Structure 1
């Protein structure tokens, strides 16, 4: 297997390099405060946020192919592992960080397997609707978790509903000074995001808060601060956990894997299309694996292809991974020389920054669009969000996948079925299949809208029988329009053979039209073609109708009714 490197960097021209360098500086100024905030979600020391945009950024730039994807800390994956690991160890403790590192290492291994065995399709089982609902639920959960620090209320639980209850109980004891500062920070960031999206409002807020805290000694006046932040380069080591702990966190890594594949693939694809570029998704999966391995050995946590940070980079003018390498270089400077002042940052300011991230995760416009297009999909999004809030983030992603699959199976189980009937002008038009409908005297053209499998085969058979039995005149010909039938499984084939044999005894001849080569292979393998007769299976509907006419089963000319030949 050939492994190309620097696919997201080459070729690069001097003028483009200068533009990407400026974009990297802009990206760093906007994102450093955010990656510090992600540590509040992850339950890790503040400095680990900087670690996520050091070696992982470089690793993806080396092995990935996307010129635009920014791989860094992400709120969704941070929420996934923190909600589970916090029940196994105290957040930010040495044991907790070892578990966090093992999750990142296992996630890297799963991504490598996905690259080798081409398992990226697994993320397709997380529908866009479920993903919107999941991220909305995570936004509510993360936002709620930040309210304690923002209000100065003690919150002991890490379960969202319990947290809300504890916050409500603690409202009489909230600190109005913390509330005022928190609201000011939230207002500044949200207004900046709305009216000056390319201006580093978060960085200005952080610098201002650090300066004010150091000058006024806010820690001595009841404003909790984050405390000393270790500087220097991260130590490189493998996470030390037991075999039983590794097995225990494997499901957490699998949840992170699904989220990474789903978000990263979609994000890189969007920006490749926007800039008319090609992207090697397999190379990106390998780049994500390398980034998470780098994160695991450098004391950080799971990283992901971030849609929000990628959008920031694109808006800043980044057109290659050179911008991300500049970003990593600035983080290196911060780690070596500028971590000292971070100790004065008030915790409520950091919590407020995370709260604005949580607000951004609630996709109000996306949910509104889903409601306008499909109430069923809207309920799916709400159920997924509710599962995340009520049960937990890790379980929520399983619910999201489960809901997506159930909805898909339900669509296939209750597939649309149509009968071609003549309209006022004599043209044949599709109408929902109802007993009593016929295409012409003695003929029914029946269209089924899904593959035939074990769950829906009986519904297919029952509907065909009812159409034939309740037809106003005896049915001699049944044409099955199989355009939407791409597959017939073993159970469905057995059921279909029984129907065909019964119809043959009753004198009803069956013809299949619009049969593609894959369906034809299934029909031959399952002996369906032998029962119907190879001469009554056609690649187009017109040929099927012509065959019926040739045998005297249709006197009227349906040519104008069925559309152009070849259909």
Structure 2
């Protein structure tokens, strides 16, 4: 009976997770959600087409990606306002990575992108199911800022040929820049004029009101202009015939040999998706004063990626700009995303009308998106705060833009961890003094009121004692003992910040005890936690020090052992 009741509870719990933002839906929310859906649709149509091109995929797959991401997140996610779909942040990452394996014009490219999307989806969903979202915390703010700056450079460099009406180039970022510069004498004035005009429309609309569909207006207007003036004859490159039939279901070319080159790219893309999803859902939840389950949101985005791959599209991600548009249009629930996805499905047959859409329009939209991605203010703030962390951001930016995304993130994370290790390995041993008329103790070099007690040395080591800093601990403590002179009778180690003690640290502490015993100086520890006590017991130091020399506070130790 208990097992049946438990199973029933799990089933009911799973059902309560589905479409959670629609629970308790009110009729007063309908108008706001439908207005948000129209706003989202006007933004999504040009953006998804442009992102599909950035990903090197057929334009229609951008619509499939948006529908898959929106529906699956609405079904499984917890954030009622977040929009999920094709995203320009991750598109150049996997496009560059997969293009290094197989040419973007080869049939295998689309197949590998589908396999990549499913692989990314499985990884992101597992992060949610296993509650492993903390892995994204290895991407510090400077690294993320540098990464976004590098992505923005990649987007601009990739789109410049289309904006200028020049033939496209392949290869590294520097090679693409070189090819573009060498062809400046062949700029198509019509294409450049259209691109600049669309860019201005989008910027002005954004400045007036984010809800204004500047990109959609530019898309429709430029398409009509090209068709009416027959600008094909003037060399303006257009989108051309767009396949708009049903998606091809399933995975093609799936094999172990295909998964090999896809796996590392999927890992990087998944890490970026986890970071951006967590940041987006938390930011808008705080703004809207509602609760979210970040791990459920990972599950929703992961499921969206899996479905996107299975319908022949590409990886999807949480979108801060589109989510902001939903919020500003008074959207309250995932009804807005579902309605926009449904309307987009109905519009798919009409995609054929966009065959005269100039590529310069899509390039202008993507370049505008790139200007919003690059975190100039954050980079300036980081530079003002700390030169080393700004160096991390700059290294990430340049490596991502010029070498590769995986290499950029790997190098920056490795440097950041090395820097944290360096700081932890060089901690400062604080000598404490008592503040008169209180039971408090404070560093002598940080408080004007702290007074040293004659014959007593109290030190604070506010970090784990481990192999990287054990030598520094021995050196500093020995120097403090020597400085105290022959009158020293008691040393108290305040272990408040010592959260761990490894073998090397324990051996170093034993050496210091032997040194103090030789000088006939007593030793005690204050504020040790369970982990350190267990380490002391395993190493035999607990018996050496004595349980009666472990105290709850520095004051208790001094009062008990100093006459």
TM-score, normalised on structure 1?
0.90
Q: Which residue, out of 142, 151, 154, partners 1:138?
A: 151
**Deviation string for 1:307-366 (max 9, x for gaps)?**
222222222222221111011012112113x20121111011111111111111111111
Deviations 1:488-537 (A, max 9, x none): 22332233233233323322333222333343333334433333222222
Indicate whether 1:198 and 2:211 are aligned. yes
8 Å contact kept, 1:44–1:92: no
Query: Partner residue of 1:351?
Result: 363
Structure 1 residue ranges without an equivalent (≥5): 554-567
CA contact (8 A) 1:105 1:296 kept: yes
Counterpart among 387, 398, 402 of residue 410 in structure 2: 398
Q: 1:412 aligns with which of 421, 424, 427?
A: 424
How many Å separate the matches in 2 of 1:389 and 1:149?
19
Matched, 1:362 2:374: yes
Displacement of 1:438 after TM fit? 8.8
Aligned counterpart, 2:127? 114
Q: How big is the shift at 1:474?
A: 4.3
Instruction: Select between 119-128 and 164-173 the one with higher mean Cα deviation.
Output: 164-173
Contact 1:428-1:439 within 8 A present in 2 as well: no
| 1:472 shift after superposition | 5.2
Gaps of 5+ in 2: 1-9
Pairing 1:27-176 to 2, within 5 Å after superposition: 27-91=40-104, 93-176=106-189
SS in 1 for 2:225: helix
User: Residue 92 of structure 1: CA displacement?
Assistant: 5.0
- 1:442 pairs, out of 444, 452, 455, with 455
Q: Is the 8 A contact 2:274 2:298 kept in 1?
A: yes
Does 2:346 correspond to 1:342? no
Which of 327, 333, 355 is matched with 1:320 structurally? 333
Q: 1:487 to 1:36 in 2, by over 3 A?
A: same
Answering whether residue 303 of structure 2 is matched by residue 293 of structure 1, we say: no
Confirm or deny: 8 A CA contact 1:511 1:544 kept in the other structure. Answer: no
Say whether residues 1:482 and 2:495 are aligned partners: yes
Distance (whole Å) between structure 2 residues aligned to residue 293 and residue 171 of structure 1: 42
SS in 2 for 1:368: helix
Distance 2:53 2:430 in 1: 55
Could you tell me how far apart the structure 2 residues matched to 1:552 and 1:156 are? 78
Matches of 2:342 and 2:452, distance apart in 1: 71
How far is 1:476 from its partner?
A: 2.6
CA distance in 1, matches of 2:544, 2:531: 18
Q: Which moved more, 1:85-94 or 1:469-478?
A: 469-478
Give the match for residue 508 of structure 1. Answer: 521
Q: Give the superposition deviation at 1:384.
A: 1.0
Kindly indicate whether residue 33 of structure 2 is the aligned counterpart of residue 20 of structure 1. Answer: yes
Measured after TM superposition, the shift of residue 254 of structure 1 is 0.8
Partner of 1:559: none
**2:430–2:443 CA contact under 8 A, matched in 1:** yes
| 1:8/1:457 CA distance change after superposition, 3 Å | farther
- Equivalent residues of 1:130, 1:403 under 8 A apart: no
Q: Separation in 2 of the partners of 1:431 and 1:377?
A: 30
Q: 1:488 to 1:75 in 2, by over 3 A?
A: farther
Q: Is the contact between residue 438 and residue 445 of structure 1 (CA under 8 Å) also seen in structure 2?
A: no
Residues of 2 paired with 1:432 and 1:141: CA distance? 50
Moved more, 87-96 or 348-357: 87-96
Distance in 2 separating the partners of 1:459 and 1:232: 68
SS in 1 for 2:484: coil
Say if 2:120 and 2:270, in contact at 8 Å, map to a contact too: yes
Shift of 1:416: 4.0
Distance 1:446 1:153, change over 3 A: farther
Q: Deviations over 1:433-474 (max 9, x none)?
A: 9xxx99333323222232222212222222111222233564
Match of 2:392 in 1: 380
Q: 1:565: which partner in 2?
A: none
CA distance in 1, matches of 2:169, 2:444: 60
Structure 1 distance, partners of 2:200, 2:331, is 28
CA distance in structure 1 between the aligned counterparts of 2:433 and 2:61, rounded to whole angstroms? 67
Residues 239-318 of structure 1 correspond to what in structure 2 (within 5 A)?
A: 239-318=252-331
Q: CA deviation at 1:401?
A: 2.6
Q: Distance in 2 between matches of 1:183 and 1:273?
A: 37
Is 2:530 the partner of 1:551? no
